[in-house]
Amino acid sequence: MKGVFVGQKPLNVLSCAVQGRPGRSAYELACDGGYTGTNEEFDALLAGLSGTLTRLNTGMTRLNGLMDAMDNRIEDVEGDLAALTQRVVRLEAAVFDSSASNYAGRS
């Protein structure tokens, strides 16, 4: 037989890396914490949580994209506002100069 064995069972290095060291299972720990369902129900619960976390991660990625787009739009609006403010200042100066000229002409 080739490979690494623990007793009669082949050792799956990937599953060991994912599962961690041998010891009490997540189900046993959950029962210690008050979980009362079966091991199969617990596995189904974990599988459901995995799907929920995947959907949550997808939603967060989309939300981050929307926030980036909103930040870019805010920068655009700020730039437009700055340009508009400069235009108003120039118009006010022109109106003031015109009024001053008209007033000076009356004296």
pLDDT tens readout for residues 48-95? 888 888 889 899 999 999 999 999 999 999 999 999 999 999 999 888
Distance, CA of 71 to CA of 55 (rounded, Å): 24
Distance, CA of 51 to CA of 56 (rounded, Å): 9
The answer to whether residue 23 scores a pLDDT higher than 80 is yes
Domain with 77 in it: 5-106
The answer to whether residue 25 scores a pLDDT higher than 80 is yes
The pLDDT assigned to 3 comes to 53
Number of domains in the chain: 1
Distance, CA of 59 to CA of 47 (rounded, Å): 19
The pLDDT assigned to 67 comes to 94
Q: What percent of the chain has pLDDT over 90?
A: 43
